[in-house]
Structure 1
Amino acid sequence: MDQESILIVEDDGIIAAYLQDTLTRLGYIVPEPVATGEAAVAAAVAAVAAPPDLVLMDIQLAGAMDGVTAAERIRMAFDIPIVYLTAFTRESQLQQAKMTAPYGYLVKPVSERELLATLEMALYKHNLDRRLRQSEEWLTLALWGADLGMWDCDTRTNTVLYSERWAEILGCSLTEITPNYASWEDRVHPDDLPAMQEAFNAHLEHRAPFYESEHRLQHQDGHWVWVQAKGKVTDRDLQDRPLRACGVLLDISERKRLEEELRQLAATDPLTGAFNRRYFLHSVGKEISRAQRYARPLTLIMFDIDYFKRINDTFGHEQGDEVLRNMTTRIRQRLRHSDVLVRWGGEEFMILAVETSLSQSVALAETLWAALRDAPFADIGAVTASFGVTEYRPDETLDQWLKRVDDLMYQAKSKGRDRVCYSGESAA
């Protein structure tokens, strides 16, 4: 056994000497006993660099300060366990002593065996408490460092305890959140709620080893916060029904924002912001399948800026890039949300118009054609484009459809540019 030190606070000299001799013989380090509460506090303060491991405290002491008051003072300043030693066992005295959270209570006269057992248990329990507090501190620091909120759910009552960080993620205080599961679900974005519920139930029903869900929660100011929730059932009854589940919540809004930026970068042309060819080829297959399944119209508009090489050669590539950016902005302002504007390559662009007939797309192409030719660019003048428009035919492949629209655009070029061609005829 490691030598542990015990401070004896006893005003009866004979008892103090007996305790000191006994504890020394049992292997403890025992400094000179003190007889008053004031001396006990002073001894603890004086030994701040190496405080005693336990204080054996008589409740009734000589001097103005009794043992309970001295114990309160010591416990406020130091993490030292107290074991009371007294000849009195009045109920009021016991209640007063309990308020100081003692680690034991011995009644005089005390046998050596009882003394040893009580002190060993007190020191052992205090060591466990200290390690538990240390673990809690580490957990708190880990949660703080990881920016995690915690939740603890009683599945029988649907009561959920939330941590302060959980509430902070949503811009509110704990007092503003009702401690139940409904207060969580009520904040989930309607589009995310079914998947979130299914993930939770799947774990409760043993269909998943743990609970994990990414969903949006409504912040106190109304905007949506992306979170990742993880958890696990920690208790089940004899029928294997879940009793308790707990876990963590992490704000992943920034990660979601970066993911969206990466998706945009992968799907869009960096110069104009229009979708790129890769995105078009990914999307058009789904739209073709939908058009075939439901017999709905689907059209393509392809256009190419006229004499664009001349613009670059005359005014420089920076001005050429500005024409592309400006033209894309003008086009996008006249498109519907469902229309997909694509930079096909160089000065060639494509518009995938869903739920749009040929006549509607021709009208749209003519609107775009006029918007370009009737609004000259500064320092350059009028910039025109040649358009081809065609509707998807259920019996053709994508390559065949693309060739038809490409042929129509070059037909517009061959007829003098600055016009719209569709179904092999000029509409300019």
Structure 2
Amino acid sequence: MTQLPAFEQLPAAQGVVSQKKALRAAGLVLVAGLLLTGLLGWNVWRNARMALEQQFALAANERIDRVRERLTLQQSELESVRRFFENSDDVSREEFEHFVSPLLGDTLGYAWLPRVEQHAREAFEERAHVDGMLDYLIHELDSQGRPVPAQVRERYFPVLYGASEYLQELPLGLDLNSTESGRELTQQVLTERQLVASIPVILPGAPPADAAGVLLAAPFYPRPALLGPTAETRAGLQGILLAAISYRLLIEQGMDADSLAQLALTLRDSADQRADVPLYRSAVLPVQAAELVAERHLDFAGRDYLIRIEPSADFLKRNQGDPQFWVVLGGTLTSLLLAGYVLTLLSQRQRALQLVAERTAELRANQLELQENQARLHFAMDSAGHGVWDWNVDLGKVFYSHAWKAMLGFRDGEIGTTTDECLRRIHPDDQTARCEALQRHLRGEAPLYQSEHRLRCKNGRWLWVLDRGQVMERAADGAPRRMIGTQTDISSRKAAELELGEVNNRLHGLLDAATQVAIVSTDLRGFVRSFNVGAERMFGYSAREVLGRPVPENVFVKDEIRRRAHDLSQALGREIRGFEVVGALVGEGHEEHEWTCLRRDGRQLKVNLIITGVRDSSGGLIGYLGIATDVTLRKEAELELRRLSVTDALTGVHNRRYFREQLELGMARCSRSGEPLSLVMFDIDHFKDINDRFGHEAGDTVLVTLCQRVAQRLRKVDVFCRLGGEELVVLCPGSSLEQAARLAEALCEALRSHSIEGIGVVTASFGIAGWVAGESADDLMRKVDRAVYRAKRLGRDRVERDEG
């Protein structure tokens, strides 16, 4: 008997929906859907239009506010220039250019136009020539734009100097009163005594694109004038500060091309009735069909500007979509789909039955494939040496794979299916940690279960294993029902870890035994990896405070770090910064350098630091090892020996050896720089008589006292030395012979005007000499000796110079 299709087996009482009714229902659905689609599309179009208007209003207001702010900024910047002039006695060209240079970003230029009366014109031009402007002339432009001498007027306002980043040549000498617009602007300044803007002008010398603009003028009075634009206050006007402003720079400077392409902007002077001649018009064309316009009046230094903004095609493209089209299209398609769904509803059951049969066949095929994959997985796990276990928590049964049993030395029949087969083989010392890790996972506190522990093998040997698993099935209350995991033999890795731990312990013991040497290792970023006992004693930090953290910033002196980084950057040809300063020169060997370090208690140390690189098995640099030795005492001893070797034991000033060294250095330095160099030498008058009358102790007192008085009157760069006996000398680098003479006179007067207790007034004979390029140190010393001898021969207590 042939089986009928599923829809033909339905009971006759239920019947089948006729095709006519199905079409009627589909038509009703389609009509209702189209009506709703039309209503929704109109609403979406209205909302989109409102959003476009709001977006345009926001963009237009933002652009207008930006123009207003830039107009206000131009006034503020010119006001600041005027205040600069008011607060200065006299402003030179260099001071003017230095002050206005930061303000030239969006201004064509600034200029100073002093007031020049007719009778003072010639003297004014002559002063300009003396100041270096040889071609300066008060002029005006003829009909061809060429400069010609300005006509005779009552007063002039010529450009004396200015600054600009856009004009190749400033119109120096051009009289503001030479044009009608300039005379009108001058009259406004004299009348209103405040910032005023000119009528739109073509700025001379400006690039063609920026030539259209306005002149912003500010009057400059040297002192507060009387109230009201009287003749007296107009007479007090000293000049006009002028700012040349391009409309294009004012509106477009600082804006990217994308922003400029969004809106079409037109700027007009409200006083100009010609609607077709704007002051500025954007390069982008407006779309007038959009019916979106924003207009605003802006006041700028007494002039009323009308700014008009309209959307461009790019703005409409970005902000005006056609959402209603997509709504109508989507609604129409949805209506058609619903109508089609009604038509196909009758055959849905048959399609479902066919789909069930297909899915059943697919499930059977997937089941067979899954069984094959499981077999392959077990084979792969066994081959890789991973033991698999499958724990059914409800039944308390565990499946142990063949590899798991073989790993412990058992055959398949020697291991059961209880949990005790694994638990009773775990080492007693590992039971607690393994149980805690398992319970954390079973409670859902850890995503995976993982434990490293020991299992006893069949032969009694302990085997380290990595045990991992995961709950695959839970009950409705969250209780685990099934868990699957693996166990891997990690005995070899554990043995290597134990051996490595022993080596590290021995190494740390050796490092800590070196208590007199600081040994520190870091990674490439400067994070401390080891810090021995010697380092703790040397720097005052405990290992616990610094391990795993960057080397403390205050260990090294910051000035030394900066100087070292600068020297290394110049030597290596690349920027050296951060912790790289310490090991930049390590390379394949080591680097040795002396540093000034700070202990935790603030005490300074001088350490000799040897840095070597720490490398991995492939030779790559992974860190640094530093060995620091405290050389503070040795450095202090060296400095003390150096001080004693160059210091006179009696007076405390420098000795002859130090003087010779500094004289040679000073001559070499002055030879390179061209600076002068002078010597002041003096002998104490009648010093032998002092020793004979008062004793040698009194003579020593005289030497010490005179050296103290002289040292108080010298500069830090001067070198004061005792050559021997009562002979002393002062090396004066950078001092001419005249300056040295004034110093010698001051010292001579200081000795003459103060007496020494128990001895009286002690004077000295001074000689001075200046070094001439090409002379040797001996030549200079012979010259100053001659001058001292002349002072003694001419009566002592005087200053003589040798100009030979």
TM norm structure 2: 0.36
CA-to-aligned-CA distance 1:148-176 (integer Å, 9 cap, x gap): 32321212x43234636546645566677
Q: Is residue 2:667 matched to residue 1:288?
A: yes
Match of 1:80 in 2: none
Match of 1:159 in 2: 527
What is the rounded CA distance, in whole Å, between the counterparts of 1:158 and 1:332 in structure 2?
48
Match of 1:90 in 2: 426
Match of 1:229 in 2: 609
Change (3 A) 1:222 1:354: farther
Change (3 A) 1:357 1:409: same
Give 1:140 deviation, angstroms: 2.3
What is the rounded CA distance, in whole Å, between the counterparts of 1:126 and 1:93 in structure 2?
17
Change (3 A) 1:317 1:152: same
What secondary structure is seen at the aligned counterpart in 2 of 1:278? helix
Alignment of 1:119-268 (within 5 A): 136-137=508-509, 139-142=511-514, 144=515, 146=516, 148-155=517-524, 157-161=525-529, 163=531, 166=535, 169-170=538-539, 183-184=552-553, 187-191=556-560, 193-195=562-564, 198=568, 200-201=582-583, 203-206=585-588, 209-218=589-598, 224-236=604-616, 238=618, 240-268=619-647
Q: Is residue 2:771 matched to residue 1:392?
A: yes
Contact between 1:200 and 1:212, CA under 8 Å: does it hold in 2?
no
Q: Is residue 2:801 matched to residue 1:422?
A: yes
Contact between 2:719 and 2:732, CA under 8 Å: does it hold in 1?
yes
Give 1:256 deviation, angstroms: 2.0
Give 1:97 deviation, angstroms: 9.3
Change (3 A) 1:350 1:161: farther
Change (3 A) 1:126 1:152: closer
Give 1:304 deviation, angstroms: 0.7
Match of 2:695 in 1: 316
Q: Is residue 2:715 matched to residue 1:336?
A: yes
Give 1:341 deviation, angstroms: 0.8
Greater shift, 188-197 or 327-336, is seen at: 188-197
Change (3 A) 1:176 1:376: farther
Q: Indicate which of 284, 300, 304 corresponds to 2:679.
A: 300
TM norm structure 1: 0.64
Greater shift, 243-252 or 158-167, is seen at: 158-167
Change (3 A) 1:235 1:335: same
What secondary structure is seen at the aligned counterpart in 1 of 2:760? coil
Change (3 A) 1:169 1:201: closer
Match of 1:17 in 2: none
Greater shift, 269-278 or 131-140, is seen at: 131-140
What is the rounded CA distance, in whole Å, between the counterparts of 1:265 and 1:92 in structure 2?
75
Give 1:263 deviation, angstroms: 0.8
Structure (1 or 2) with the larger CA radius of gyration? 2
Give 1:384 deviation, angstroms: 0.9
Tell me which amino acid in the other structure corresponds to 1:140: D
Tell me which amino acid in the other structure corresponds to 1:205: G
CA-to-aligned-CA distance 1:89-143 (integer Å, 9 cap, x gap): 3367415599xxxxx989598669x9xxxxxxxxxx999988976774454243x
Change (3 A) 1:161 1:326: farther
Q: Is residue 2:653 matched to residue 1:274?
A: yes
Change (3 A) 1:408 1:416: same
Tell me which amino acid in the other structure corresponds to 1:402: M
What is the rounded CA distance, in whole Å, between the counterparts of 1:128 and 1:222 in structure 2?
39
What is the rounded CA distance, in whole Å, between the counterparts of 2:456 and 2:690 in structure 1?
103
CA-to-aligned-CA distance 1:209-229 (integer Å, 9 cap, x gap): 322111223455666432221
Point out where structure 2 has 5 or more consecutive residues left out of the alignment: 1-422, 435-452, 464-496, 569-580
Give 1:406 deviation, angstroms: 0.5
Point out where structure 1 has 5 or more consecutive residues left out of the alignment: 1-86, 99-103, 115-124
What secondary structure is seen at the aligned counterpart in 2 of 1:310? helix
What secondary structure is seen at the aligned counterpart in 1 of 2:608? strand
Q: Is residue 2:790 matched to residue 1:411?
A: yes
What is the rounded CA distance, in whole Å, between the counterparts of 2:745 and 2:431 in structure 1?
92
What is the rounded CA distance, in whole Å, between the counterparts of 2:783 and 2:554 in structure 1?
51
Tell me which amino acid in the other structure corresponds to 1:158: G
What is the rounded CA distance, in whole Å, between the counterparts of 1:351 and 1:179 in structure 2?
57
What is the rounded CA distance, in whole Å, between the counterparts of 1:405 and 1:368 in structure 2?
16
Match of 1:349 in 2: 728
What is the rounded CA distance, in whole Å, between the counterparts of 2:536 and 2:801 in structure 1?
59
Give 1:412 deviation, angstroms: 0.7
What secondary structure is seen at the aligned counterpart in 1 of 2:756? coil
Change (3 A) 1:187 1:135: closer
What secondary structure is seen at the aligned counterpart in 2 of 1:204? coil
Change (3 A) 1:248 1:387: same
Q: Indicate which of 360, 377, 382 corresponds to 2:761.
A: 382
Tell me which amino acid in the other structure corresponds to 1:89: R
Tell me which amino acid in the other structure corresponds to 1:312: N
What is the rounded CA distance, in whole Å, between the counterparts of 1:152 and 1:136 in structure 2?
12
CA-to-aligned-CA distance 1:380-427 (integer Å, 9 cap, x gap): 1111111111111113222111100000011111111111112369xx
Alignment of 1:18-97 (within 5 A): 88-90=424-426, 93-94=429-430
Change (3 A) 1:139 1:168: closer
What is the rounded CA distance, in whole Å, between the counterparts of 1:181 and 1:192 in structure 2?
16
Contact between 1:237 and 1:243, CA under 8 Å: does it hold in 2?
no
Contact between 1:189 and 1:217, CA under 8 Å: does it hold in 2?
no
Change (3 A) 1:195 1:97: same
Contact between 2:555 and 2:599, CA under 8 Å: does it hold in 1?
no
Change (3 A) 1:191 1:352: farther
Change (3 A) 1:370 1:304: same
* Structure with the larger RCO, 1 or 2 (CA within 8 Å, 6+ apart): 1
What is the rounded CA distance, in whole Å, between the counterparts of 2:735 and 2:636 in structure 1?
32
Give 1:231 deviation, angstroms: 2.4
Change (3 A) 1:152 1:319: same
Aligned residues: 320
What secondary structure is seen at the aligned counterpart in 2 of 1:190? helix
